[in-house]
A = this chain, B = another copy of it.
Amino acid sequence: MKERYIVGVDLGGTNIVAGAMPFDGGREYAIRTGLSKVADGPNGVVARIAAMVEEVIAQTTSETGASRDQFIGLGVGSPGPLNRDTGVVISAHNLGFFDFPLRDELSKAVNLPATLDNDARCATLGEHWLGAARGVRNVLGMTIGTGIGGGLIFDGHLYHGASDVAGEIGHMTIDSTGRRCKCGNYGCLEAYASGPAIAERAREALEGNEDSILPSLVGGDVTKITAQVVYDASKKGDVVAREVVRDTARFLGTGISNLINVFNPDMVVIAGGVTQAGDALFEPLRAEVRRRAFKPAVDACQIVPGALPLSAGMVGAVATFKQRTFGEL
């Protein structure tokens, strides 16, 4: 039988990543990235993704000599609560999706069968299939970017919950009288440790503090500070940035301790840009978890950065298509 290929799309709050993989996941082809935000709303997002998928298919066929009919489907990961059965995204504010039938619109646009799952769950499944969590029985996956998402693998299987929305760890309360979150609550983990929250805490820390290179890294315009800029400054020894990274580790450590106590995973795998912070983040984070969580649970659990920093969501989207269409991976 000729090799079969599956296209994966990871639609995030900020970026889109698309690529193709052969059926056995042996390698990644033709990775493309683009911005998620478009001027013309949901249909514009669909058009952009469809164009990326066609580019991925064209490049993959040219690299492998495969023909278009060897591409058997499209797996899509999207933010927001969604319904896997109907393929509808219930809401994804950043993208203007409200009850939007993303799966079927994309399927029509590229003329391939498609499946839809949550982006953080896809990233977790990607790390479980081919990344840092390969063969691990109980896994908590976290994605830290525009928001904080989660995926849960129990006894080797991706868990979806009663209504397909399991894993919303970003809105776990860690300080019930704390910072206001854009969800309307107070003290959510996401209000402290998402990319935008890290940038905001850095801007706050700069007030009345002249002794930092952060402003110089953004041409003096502190509104341009991002989490990545904070990590870069921290690596250069900037005292303000290092304090922000240490606080981030403390907040994430509190949230992760809660989750380790509750579900005693073998591994916590953290995907997304935040992993770029490296040991400056992971070492104080692990220390905070050791300080807060139960020893028998901490001792059983590794906390690691993802092995597929760019592509975990795309790989997991391919995996969800394969799993949903053919059963097991």
Contacts and interface: CB of A to CB of B under 8 A. Distances in A.
A163 B301 CA distance: 9
A124 B258 CA distance: 20
Contact of A263 (B138, B166, B254): B166
A262 B264 contact: no
Given A154-B154, A162-B138, A173 B262 contact: no
B176 A175 contact: yes
Interface in A136-156: 137-138, 150, 152, 154-155
A301 B32 CA distance: 39
A155 B292 CA distance: 29
Given A297-B163, A301-B162, A261 B138 contact: no
Given A162-B137, A163-B300, A297-B161, A173 B292 contact: yes
A171 B289 CA distance: 13
Interface string A269-304: 000000000000000000000001110110111000
B292 A185 contact: yes
The CB with the most chain B CB atoms within 10 A, among A90, A154, A258, is that of A258
Interface string A59-87: 00000000000000000000001000000
Interface string A161-195: 11111111101111111100000010100000000
Nearest to A137: B162
A259 interface: yes
A154 B264 CA distance: 14
A171 B165 CA distance: 24
Nearest to A167: B262
A86 to B, nearest CB: 13
Given A165-B297, A173-B257, A297-B168, A159 B292 contact: no
Contacts of A185: 292
A119 interface: no
Contacts of A300: 161-163, 165
A163 B299 contact: yes
Nearest to A258: B172
Given A154-B154, A171-B293, 15 more contacts: A152-B262, A154-B155, A161-B297, A162-B297, A165-B294, A168-B261, A168-B264, A169-B262, A171-B261, A172-B261, A172-B262, A174-B174, A175-B177, A175-B187, A258-B258
Interface of A: 81, 90, 137-138, 150, 152, 154-155, 157, 159-169, 171-178, 185, 187, 251, 254, 257-259, 261-266, 292-294, 296-297, 299-301
11 contacts: A137-B162, A138-B162, A154-B155, A162-B265, A165-B264, A166-B263, A168-B261, A168-B264, A169-B262, A172-B262, A176-B251
